[in-house]
Structure 1
Amino acid sequence: MSDQLRPRASLRTAVVWEVLKDALERRVKATGREALDVLDTGGGTGNFAVPVARLGHRVTVVDPSPNALFALERRAEEAGVADRVRGVQGDILGLFEVVDRVGYDAVLCHGVLEYVDDPAEGVRNAVEALRPAGALSLLGAGLGGAVLARALAGHFAEARQALADPTGRWGDGDPVPRRFTADQLTGLVDDAGIEVGAVHGVRVFADLVPGVLVDTEPGATEELLRLEAAVAELPAFHAVATQLHVLGEKRA
């Protein structure tokens, strides 16, 4: 079954995938080329790279994990897009040791900035890899979603800690090194030369709804997906989203 068809995977990726597909379609029309060059930084096993390749685009995945890149290769072969997916070991802070500058029509930077020492440098490198007017898709962990989740779990001190901590961590056991507000992410991309087109809240409700309800209630998954799509662009819900997605275009 395709990742895009699995209920759990859909709840995690549906909003970003629909936005990304639209952005790639716009780049196709703008460039006049059917196949784009897409860079997926931290793309791992190909959750987005393989579906993008299925659209006919050429995708380069940069990831530090050789195991992830091996899984990516196998996944691309199974999907019939091995000729359009290339995996390269590396990371976003050393990006131009493995890929060219100004070589891509779109760059995906999903779940990367949380784990790098210098998020601003990471964004600058992602933007420098773009051709003029290229599209940047940036996905980062949201501060508000973590605060809400800790509070709803009864961990009130940890929720308060996340609010006070400069990196948005709720304690030593927090597996996420850094979280962001929407203003922080848009500030990073703006400073790097990106014109912000849209901001989306991702997994606003999906991580709060009991899994048994989604799995057993008829039609629950589809309705939850519709609800997530309906609130994604509403700023009032960005403050409680588990993840934040920023889509923008490189300034000329």
Structure 2
Amino acid sequence: MSEAAEKFETAMPAWKQWQEAPWGRLRYAIAEANPLRHFGERADEPLRVLDLAGGDDGDALRLAVRGHHVTIADYAPAMLTAAAGCVAAAGLTDLVSCVEADANALPADIVRGEFDVVLCHNLLQYVE
């Protein structure tokens, strides 16, 4: 596990607390509204979404509930484990897949994949 991934694993309890706080909930509501605004007429058809650094599924679950197929790519195993648990609890395992990968070194099948949308919410501040 990389040093950066270990940081995220250690920070999971604080991250969950922030997500449940008003500012965290607001962030996810805004992050959901922004791409939907750009989907236009396609908002109601199932899109293929790549969620780079998708973490514990805060964005992916909201999109999957709307019927979109989401691939979460994240390098933190603890985040992906949390995502898989939330997805399973919501009964959306057929719409969300988790891939352990660094956004700077994606596996070939992801790079060659055909996605309609790529999300990069909450990623840039963690890369050099």
TM-score by length of 1: 0.40
Which letter maps to 2:101?
Answer: G
8 Å CA contact retained: 2:48, 2:69: yes
Secondary structure, in 3 states, of the residue corresponding to 1:46? Answer: coil
- Residue 110 of structure 1 deviates from its aligned partner by 1.3
8 Å CA contact retained: 1:27, 1:105: no
8 Å CA contact retained: 1:90, 1:98: no
- C-alpha spacing 1:27/1:104, structure 2 compared with 1 (3 Å): farther
* Higher relative contact order (Cα pairs below 8 Å, separated by 6+ residues): 2
Q: Does 1:9 align with 2:24?
A: yes
CA distance in 2, matches of 1:77, 1:83: 9
Q: Deviations over 1:75-120 (max 9, x none)?
A: 0011121110000000111124451335100000112122223xxx
CA distance in 2, matches of 1:51, 1:20: 11
Q: Does 1:87 align with 2:98?
A: yes
8 Å CA contact retained: 2:31, 2:59: no
**Higher normalized helix content (fraction of residues):** 2
8 Å CA contact retained: 2:31, 2:121: no
What is the RMSD computed on CA atoms of the aligned residues? 2.3
CA distance in 2, matches of 1:16, 1:77: 22
Aligned residue in 2 for 1:109: 120
Aligned residue in 2 for 1:45: 56
- Write the mapping of 1:35-184 to structure 2, written as runs, cut at 5 A: 35-101=46-112, 103-117=114-128
- Residue 11 of structure 1 deviates from its aligned partner by 2.4
- C-alpha spacing 1:61/1:27, structure 2 compared with 1 (3 Å): farther
- Write the mapping of 1:167-246 to structure 2, written as runs, cut at 5 A: none
- C-alpha spacing 1:105/1:64, structure 2 compared with 1 (3 Å): same
Greater Cα radius of gyration, structure 1 or 2: 1
- The structure 2 residue matched to 1:22, chosen from 28, 34, 37, is 37
Which letter maps to 2:68?
Answer: H
- C-alpha spacing 1:6/1:81, structure 2 compared with 1 (3 Å): farther
The percentage of aligned residue pairs carrying the same residue is 35
Aligned residue in 1 for 2:16: none
Which letter maps to 1:58?
Answer: H
- C-alpha spacing 1:43/1:27, structure 2 compared with 1 (3 Å): farther
- Residue 27 of structure 1 deviates from its aligned partner by 5.8
CA distance in 2, matches of 1:27, 1:93: 31
8 Å CA contact retained: 2:101, 2:107: no
Which letter maps to 1:23?
Answer: H
- Structure 2: stretches of 5+ with no match in the other structure: 1-18
